[in-house]
């Protein structure tokens, strides 16, 4: 997969590209990430990239031509171009999974100041937000999206490591423990030390369902449940009601 990131702060990505799993994914050629400095594409003096809005109003807007120049150069029939903005479709694990499987070449556009000249939308396939809050720019959202997709590329992390992740199956993840098995009277649940794989699987499924029901019931609303899950969830609901 190729990811092109368009930004006026290329240095923002230095640590991201040279640390841990992302660094290894790049070294192993599972992903190619190119950071493009938008200022190199402006015709205005001193690398100026913004101007006042037509019609008046506070703040500055990023101008359209540099985006147009750079995107015309980068876009091909395989590219999917995403503009990061608090007004976009809210990103989630389902999109991360779909994009990691289907997109060959992703372009992420980071905005700044009060926004970008609206003509940017002529060049974009989807406007995406990482949540209902406003950040100073699109660089952190670009890292969030790149990271969530790259870790799903085969070989970047073990499939077993993410298949049970929170959100991957539409549920929150079950609790996990490591050594020591007891500390200051706080114990690891016995079932996890039993070596009984089926009991461990059932315990984890129950805890996943219970956590999701208590913390994020909205996730269960549209989820297609298996018979086993429905049975366990009904048991959980009953036991909570009778508490
Ligand atoms: N730029 C500023 N805030 C943002 C958000 N919440 N998501 C994506 N891009 C943004």
Indicate which residue's Cα is closest to atom 4 of ligand 1: 86
pLDDT category at 102 given cuts 50, 70, 90 is very high
Query: Which residues on adjacent β-strands are paired with residue 126?
Result: 82
The answer to whether 204 is a known catalytic residue is no
The response to whether residue 66 sits with its C-beta less than 6 Å from ligand 1 reads no
pLDDT at 243: 84
The response to whether residue 133 sits with its C-beta less than 6 Å from ligand 1 reads yes
Provide the token pair at 7: 């930004």
Q: How far is the CA of 108 from the centre of ligand 1 (A)?
A: 12
- The residue-averaged pLDDT of 19-45 equals 98
Homologous superfamily of domain range 182-241:
tRNA(m1g37)methyltransferase, domain 2 (1.10.1270.20)
Overall fold of domain 2-159: Alpha/beta knot (3.40.1280)
Cis amide prior to 105 (ω within 30 degrees): no
The answer to whether 50 is a known catalytic residue is no
Q: What is the pLDDT of residues 117-148, one digit of tens each?
A: 999 999 999 999 999 999 999 999 999 999 99
The response to whether residue 42 sits with its C-beta less than 6 Å from ligand 1 reads no
Q: How far is the CA of 144 from the centre of ligand 1 (A)?
A: 11
pLDDT at 55: 96
pLDDT category at 114 given cuts 50, 70, 90 is confident
The answer to whether 118 is a known catalytic residue is no
Q: What is the pLDDT of residues 175-224, one digit of tens each?
A: 999 999 999 999 999 999 999 999 999 999 999 999 999 999 999 998 99
Neighbouring residues of 139: CB distance < 8 A, sequence distance ≥ 6: 7, 9, 12, 13, 110
Q: How far is the CA of 152 from the centre of ligand 1 (A)?
A: 22
The response to whether residue 82 sits with its C-beta less than 6 Å from ligand 1 reads no
pLDDT at 231: 98
What pTM does this model have? 0.94
Map out the domains of the chain as residue ranges: 2-159, 182-241
Report DSSP letters for the chain, one per residue.
-EEEEEES-GGGGHHHHTSHHHHHHHHTTS-EEEEEEGGGG--SGGG--EEPPTT--SS-EE-SHHHHHHHHHH--TTEEEEEEEEEEEEP-HHHHHHHHHH-SEEEEEE--TT-B-GGGGGG-SEEEESSSS--S-SHHHHHHHHHHHHTTSTTSS-HHHHHTSTTTTSSPPPP---S-SEETTEE--GGGGS--HHHHHHHHHHHHHHHHHHH-HHHHHTPPPPHHHHHHHHHHHHHHHT-
- The residue-averaged pLDDT of 224-243 equals 96
The answer to whether 151 is a known catalytic residue is yes
Q: Is the pLDDT of residue 160 over 90?
A: no
Catalytic residue of the set 86, 139, 141, 229: 86
pLDDT at 113: 76
> How far is Cα 25 from Cα 68, in angstroms, rounded to an integer?
30
Q: What is the pLDDT of residues 73-101, one digit of tens each?
A: 999 999 999 999 999 999 999 999 999 99
Indicate which residue's Cα is closest to atom 2 of ligand 1: 135
pLDDT at 168: 86
Q: How far is the CA of 8 from the centre of ligand 1 (A)?
A: 15
The response to whether residue 129 sits with its C-beta less than 6 Å from ligand 1 reads yes
Is 182-241 in the same CATH topology as 2-159?
A: no
Q: What is the dihedral of CA 182, 188, 189, 193, to 10 degrees?
A: -90
Q: Is the pLDDT of residue 53 over 90?
A: yes
The Cβ-side half-sphere exposure at 131, using a 13 Å CA radius, reads 7
pLDDT at 99: 98
Q: What are φ and ψ of residue 165, in 5° steps?
A: -55, 155
Catalytic residue of the set 125, 164, 165, 206: 165
Q: What is the pLDDT of residues 3-18, one digit of tens each?
A: 999 999 999 999 999 9
Chain mean pLDDT for the chain:
96
pLDDT category at 163 given cuts 50, 70, 90 is confident
């Amino acid at each position: 997969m190729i990811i092109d990131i368009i930004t006026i702060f290329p240095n923002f990505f230095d640590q991201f590209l040279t640390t841990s799993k992302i660094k290894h994914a790049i070294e192993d050629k599972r992903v190619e990430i190119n950071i493009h400095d938008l200022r190199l594409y402006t015709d205005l003096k001193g690398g100026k990239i913004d101007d006042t809005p037509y019609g008046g109003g506070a703040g500055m807007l990023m101008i359209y031509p540099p985006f147009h120049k750079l995107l015309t150069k980068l876009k091909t029939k395989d590219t999917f171009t995403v503009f990061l903005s608090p007004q976009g479709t809210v990103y989630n694990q389902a999109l991360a999974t779909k994009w990691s499987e289907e997109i060959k070449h992703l372009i992420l556009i980071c905005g700044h100041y009060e926004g970008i000249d609206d003509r940017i939308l002529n060049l974009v396939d989807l406007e995406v937000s990482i949540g209902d809050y406003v950040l100073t720019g699109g660089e952190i959202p670009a890292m969030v999206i790149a990271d969530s997709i790259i870790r799903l590329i085969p070989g970047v992390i073990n499939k077993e490591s993410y298949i049970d992740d929170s959100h991957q199956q539409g549920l929150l993840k079950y609790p996990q423990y490591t050594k020591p098995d007891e500390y200051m009277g706080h114990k690891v649940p016995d079932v996890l030390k039993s070596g009984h794989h089926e009991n461990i699987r059932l315990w984890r499924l129950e805890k996943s369902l219970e956590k999701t029901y208590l913390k994020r019931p909205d996730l269960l609303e549209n989820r297609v449940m298996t018979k086993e899950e429905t049975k366990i969830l009904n048991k959980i609901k009953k036991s909570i009601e009778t508490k």
